[in-house]
Chain A
Amino acid sequence: MALQLRRKTHESVVYIDRDSAPRIMPSGEDFILEDLPIGTRVLYPNPPIKGLPNREAAIRYALNHPLGCDPLFAQLEPGMRVTVAVDDISLPLPPMATPDIRQSVLEIVLDMLSGHGVDNVHIIIANSLHRKMTEWEMKRMVGKKIFDEYYPDRYYNHDAEWADGLIKLGETKHKEPLTINRRAAESDLLIYVNINLVPMDGGHKSVAVGLCDYQSLRAHHEPQTIRDSNSYMDPARSELARKCDRLGKIVDEHLNVFHIETAINNRMYKGDMDFLLRNEDDFTAFDRMKFEAMRYTMSKLPRPARRKLLHSRPAQYEMIACHAGKTEPVHEKIIAKSFDQYAIPVTGQCDILITGIPDISPYNVYSILNPLLVQVMGLGYHFNFYRNKPLLKKGGVLIIHHPCYDEFDHKFHPSYIEFFNRLLPETRDAFVLRDKYEQEFANNPSYVEMYRRGNAFHGAHPFFMWYWGENGRQHVGKVIAAGAENAHVPAMLGWDRADNLTEAIAMARSFMGSSAEITMLHQPIIGIADME
């Protein structure tokens, strides 16, 4: 009876009982089917909010009815210098079906600029220290027409290592420096086009992080800031957000920023793969058939082909809100809308948190989810999907399910390889790593050139990935990597290893007690556990 009552708390919260179906879990490029212990609480993504019926109209309305400033058209004068900055490929995930929201916004904005005699326009991808986007990705993001007109001279990636292309705006009273893209800083108007996938995105982070240099970034991308963010998905309790806001004040002092933010729903898949987002108890025979067909097909393919197949499936996100104007009021509205979509009311922390790690992260688009990225998805993103207090009790066990293969992408993640193989055997202490090695990696001429002229993440980026897991690492008592195909990767990351989920749960129970409360995040999920 108790179980029956508990099942009704919220449509996204499901308790496993005796007749529950097994649950689908992503594990890297695979999907597995697991029977969970009775009483396990499973959190599903909320049903997607219906997308706005006319995306273009919503964007035009936002531009003409901005928050805290004049409409965009009223700010334009012939001959003025305008820069449009856009989020990079790390948003949204997976890359969305075309036309991308950025393309829709750009088409309207550029048309408006042209109509007002503004032709000195550059489009800059605010990739910060992320990898630069490839030509193909850039074209896909904005569409052929804009690409042909602006690329490569007026449509390009931000370069955080090009000294002449950067300018220092100042520093906060806490001595946090801010150096940003010179073209953006010296424009009469900076228009920022954002897609808000998780509550950490957008706001002052867009300009102050997306267009900054390494020295500016390291002031807040550091272990203590992450430890003090509970969580960084909750702007009100995020030290990272506070620091970005401080830097944003400097931006607002020097630049005229017109911020366009958009919120999207969580319709990651639809049609042939939408069953991945639904409760398995509600599956039809056709859903089960689709899953078995997918699993069979995947099992016959080598891993790179499976990866390629998954990455070729664009997400079906729809825009649910668009606001424009001054950064703070715009962000406030978008965050509220995001939480409408993502917040799942949850009562009570758990002792054991289970999460499968899908092949989706901001840092492995069209690439490999290497061990450091598995770490950042488990202890970073998935652990931080909460508001108020962590979903997992202090000292609890986090079970992640992933093969933990020792594979890296040499083109995108060269510095990760050295970080993993050379530094982690020496120490996993984030403070030591930062003090002793971060600058060496950041200044390594090879990594700098690979970032600047290639498509590599910056040399310091693996450090940020390690710090990103810092509050999770401090909070959990143990991490168990279930389904890990080797022993050394979990060992390097400081984790225990189990062959499968059943073994992992047994290990976790031996650590937390046999009556431990278990919760599973049903991946892929973009959701925030709104803890009471």
Chain B
Amino acid sequence: MAEPYTSFFHYRETLALGYIGATHIQQLLLSLSGFEGLVWRTLEEHLAAAAFYDLEGTLVSTNLIHTLGFYARNEPGLVRSFKKSAATLFSLPVFAITDQYSRKVFNDLYFKRYKGVKEDRLRYLADDLFISVLKPAVFPGAYELLEKSRSLGLRQVVVTGALDVSVKPLMEHLGIEEYVSNRLEFVNGVATGRLLPPVMAAATKASWIRVFAEREGLSLSDSYAYTDSMSDLPMLSIVGHPAAINPDMRLRQTALHHDWPILNLK
């Protein structure tokens, strides 16, 4: 919210910005007179703003593979658990290569691993996943960052490519009410291995943020975005205050190139 004139310098600055008009002079005189009963606004009211966070690798040290590994380990039956875990392990190089190539291709391959998993089982294991995997993985600095950001009145929004069922307890733990995540498609309670649109990755995150900001009346210029991955570059590019957190090499170079802050929350 804009302040009334507080000093002559404030007035001069407003002049420089070209906001001057008869009304403004009137406002200046009133504010300098100390007549506090009237609250005059000199500039257009500031829009609210938000802080948008990627989740995995940004606020927590785990990534999608940890989650997949957890579900694989907890498959019912020793043989199935072993087979799923081994398959996940052998897929790691493929995941690593495709992630470098395209986040979309990575998502297509990655979420296929959930094909045949029952929805109620995912929900049943979500709390365990949170307690044993996600909660210990929250970066110590993440709590401070969220707290500071909240104290500025910024809305806290997580935009993640993780699954909705797995992140819900973590969001509650971090006190984040607004988040968007990926959702698996289920047919008769069984996952098909496909995602429901919109798929949260790369440019889609930026599109979602733009629509969200427009709908909620948020100023993107005054908003912040945090991520660890180069694939989220579009998300960083649309806000006024982008920052890289524990970035990969490519994002680090990009952040240096653009003079963006580089944070280490570990």
Contact = CB atoms under 8 A, between A and B. Distances in A.
Interface of A: 161, 408, 410-411, 414, 417-418, 421, 427, 429, 431-432, 435-436, 443-450, 452-454
A432 B261 contact: no
Interface in B1-33: 6-7, 9-10, 12-13, 16
Given A414-B261, A449-B145, A453-B263, 8 more contacts: A408-B259, A410-B261, A410-B262, A432-B9, A436-B10, A445-B145, A448-B144, A454-B263
Nearest to B140: A453
A14 B189 CA distance: 91
Interface in B217-241: 224, 226, 241
B7 A421 contact: no
B148 A418 contact: no
19 contacts: A408-B259, A410-B259, A414-B261, A427-B13, A429-B12, A429-B13, A431-B7, A432-B9, A435-B6, A435-B13, A443-B152, A445-B224, A446-B261, A448-B144, A449-B141, A449-B144, A450-B261, A453-B141, A453-B263
B91 interface: no
Given A444-B241, A452-B144, A429 B263 contact: no
B202 interface: no
Nearest to B255: A410
A446 B224 contact: yes
Contact of B243 (A427, A432, A446): A446
Nearest to B258: A417
A448 B264 contact: no
Contact of A435 (B10, B152, B259, B262): B10
Interface in B148-196: 148-149, 151-152
Nearest to B8: A431
Given A410-B256, A443-B148, A449 B263 contact: yes
A408 B243 CA distance: 17
Contacts of A445: 51, 145, 148-149, 152, 224
B137 interface: no
A430 B149 CA distance: 27
Contacts of A443: 148, 151-152
A190 B168 CA distance: 48
B259 A450 contact: no
A435 B7 contact: yes
B13 A448 contact: no
B265 interface: yes
Contacts of B224: 445-446
Given A453-B264, A453-B265, A446 B241 contact: yes
Contacts of B265: 449, 453
B12 A432 contact: yes
10 A-B pairs with the lowest CB-CB distances in the bound complex, closest first: A446-B261, A446-B243, A445-B148, A417-B259, A431-B9, A445-B149, A414-B261, A453-B141, A432-B13, A449-B263
Contacts of B266: 453
Contacts of A408: 259
Nearest to A447: B261
A435 B6 CA distance: 9
Contacts of A435: 6-7, 9-10, 13
A445 B16 CA distance: 29
B176 to A, nearest CB: 15
A449 B255 CA distance: 16
Contacts of B7: 431, 435
B225 to A, nearest CB: 10
Contacts of B152: 443, 445
A414 B145 CA distance: 17
A427 B16 contact: yes
Interface string B75-108: 0000000000000000000000000000000000
Contacts of B226: 446
A21 to B, nearest CB: 43
A45 to B, nearest CB: 37
A466 to B, nearest CB: 15
A430 to B, nearest CB: 10
A454 B141 CA distance: 11
A408 B262 CA distance: 14
Contacts of A444: 241
A523 to B, nearest CB: 30
